[in-house]
Structure 1
Amino acid sequence: MARRYCYSDVLPFTALVTMECTNVGLNTLFKAATLKGMSYHVFVVYAYAIAALVLLPAPFFSHRSRRLPPLTFSILCKIGLLGLIGSSSQILGFTGINYSSPTLASAISNLTPAFTFILAVLFRMEKIGLKSSSSQAKVLGTLVSITGAFVVTLYKGPPIIIASSPSIALDQPQLLSSSSNWIIGGVLLTAEYILVPLWYIVQTQIMKEYPAELTVIFFYNLCVSFIAAIVGVFTERDSSAWRIRPHIALASVICSGLFGSCMNNTVHAWALNLKGPVYVAMFKPLSIVIAVVMGVMFLGDTLHLGSLIGASIISVGFYTVMWGKAKEEMIEECRVERDESTAGQKVPLLKNYKRAHV
């Protein structure tokens, strides 16, 4: 029981929190690289190509390690659709960060749970019972988390912990050419986080048909790299833009390929298969809290009251949703155990009936 609890609850929770920390760091590193002149179209091509190269052995080992259904043309088409959605969201997202900042990206990512919840209900992957306390908890917790995230974003408040040294923030106003860039970045990031829930839904459907995370992510990364390369040929005609020099741009590409496109996507595919899209999406509001904490710890940013209040509200909403999901899973487990016990009681009676007539 303890081992099952660790695998189904503790491990996904820890892995997804770790991935949100990683994503905030990668976004910050990407912003620093683009400030040095790196093209985000080229970045997507190289990062996903590195991830595909790392996962190249995955299809061979997956089939040897366990029995899997055949990789049909239908599944490959769905992975291609996943690649189209993923490449579009990545290009929109990185373009948006280039116009604005990683902090704004973390803030707008708070729209993901709401969009995911709506899509999951429409695709009948989540059930809503207005009289059910678990459903009420999920809806209320989602709204509270989003509210808390926007409190962090919109309300600054007085300082609580004053920076000990000048902050080297990547989203300082002087780095932006104009306020219109911030608006364009916000629109592009909003479009990205409309596509992300759709990515979760399609990925979950694929994992139900073909439950091999590494193989699916390998083909997905290959598709994204290929699609981004086609787009990049038309958008980046200067050959010098495709040369990655050994400085922060190269570090950003390698880190994003290994820890973002490879590890992050694999962990999300595994978590989607295990827990569903709504559970995974609920970790997005944590990114703004993580961005604030990392800013205070590593960049010397000042901690303001608004960040503390917003983080507390996000925590309340997050754990409310987790409580609702846990209660649903508990009810489902009780129902399965009851069905199994009922079936177990019927089998001996059937055997006795057969023995009496032999």
Structure 2
Amino acid sequence: MESLKLKRLHGVLKASGILLCIAGVVILAFYEGPVIRSISNYHLLHTSVTAKQADGSKMKWILGVFLTTLAVFQWSLWTVLMGPMLEEYPSKILTATLQCIFTTIQSFFIALVLERDHSKWKLKFDMGLLAVLYCAIALSGISYYLQAWAIQLQGPVFLGMSMPLTLIFTIMLSSIILGEAISLGSVIGGILMVGGLYNVLWGKRIEESPEKDIIKEQNHDEEANLDKDTQMQTGTSRM
């Protein structure tokens, strides 16, 4: 779906942008570095992890990585398939609505299997209810519609390249709102991901510019030929 000509400038820019994004994610995941203190000392949530909980999380990190990788892989396939689907049926609202409905049904049955304690299903007027509303409105409804809009406008490549920015926004908001410390690896990784996204978009703009010029020239030639035909028909009718 995306051409990659390494002998042209736009191909080199797109390839380098992808490599920069990969490098940024790798550094963000495996390199921490010195800790940079947050400019905000306000903590919205106060949580403490016990030693038992920490040991349990270390035992299950392989399963967590596997499930996360599987989820990202399936999401990538979905974004690629959404491009041809929106060409055949361009209703973004209905697409987002159906996606939310089927996600709700699947999540309901998964929750029935994994969570047998029905007392935890009750919603209270606390931070948990705010988190549920935020996930339902922002992360599901609005984000699904915006993803469909971006794919219909620029294709799945633009959406895929912009997704690493969510990590950067999460780090920034965690530092400002929650007062969490930022590591040097997060800063370096964020800079590399932003640079990679800029290179890809720059390459796509250079690649699309000649195509737009060719289309304009073709339209201009068609209009000129149409005017000539009209003039010839007018002259023939007068004769």
The TM-score, its normalising length taken from structure 1, stands at 0.59
Residue 287 of structure 1 deviates from its aligned partner by 2.2
Q: How does 1:1-358 map to 2 (within 5 A)?
A: 125-161=1-37, 165=41, 174=51, 175-176=53-54, 177-358=56-237
Percent identity between the two aligned chains: 25
Residue 223 of structure 1 deviates from its aligned partner by 2.1
Determine helix, strand or coil for the equivalent of 2:162: coil
Counterpart of 1:82 in structure 2 is none
Specify the code of the residue in structure 2 equivalent to 1:159: V
Gaps of 5+ in 1: 1-124
Residue 355 of structure 1 deviates from its aligned partner by 2.8
Asked if the contact 2:23/2:192 (under 8 Å) is kept, the reply is: yes
Determine helix, strand or coil for the equivalent of 1:296: helix
**Alpha-carbon distance in 1 for matches of 2:190, 2:60:** 27
Stretch deviating more after TM superposition (125-134 or 207-216):
125-134
**Alpha-carbon distance in 1 for matches of 2:138, 2:115:** 25
**Alpha-carbon distance in 1 for matches of 2:143, 2:169:** 16
Q: Higher relative CO (CA 8 A, sep ≥ 6), structure 1 or 2?
A: 2
Residue 171 of structure 1 deviates from its aligned partner by 9.8
Gaps of 5+ in 2: none
Residue 320 of structure 1 deviates from its aligned partner by 0.7
Q: Which one has a bigger Cα radius of gyration?
A: 2
- Pair 230,348 (structure 1): closer, same or farther in 2 beyond 3 Å: same
- Pair 160,243 (structure 1): closer, same or farther in 2 beyond 3 Å: closer
Asked if the contact 2:40/2:177 (under 8 Å) is kept, the reply is: no
Residue 162 of structure 1 deviates from its aligned partner by 6.0
Specify the code of the residue in structure 1 equivalent to 2:13: A
TM-align CA RMSD:
2.6
Specify the code of the residue in structure 2 equivalent to 1:131: K
Residue 339 of structure 1 deviates from its aligned partner by 1.3
Deviation track 1:176-206 (CA, whole Å, cap 9, x = no partner) reads 3241222221111111110111111122222
Residue 238 of structure 1 deviates from its aligned partner by 4.5
- Pair 335,180 (structure 1): closer, same or farther in 2 beyond 3 Å: farther
**Alpha-carbon distance in 1 for matches of 2:178, 2:234:** 77
Deviation track 1:16-38 (CA, whole Å, cap 9, x = no partner) reads xxxxxxxxxxxxxxxxxxxxxxx
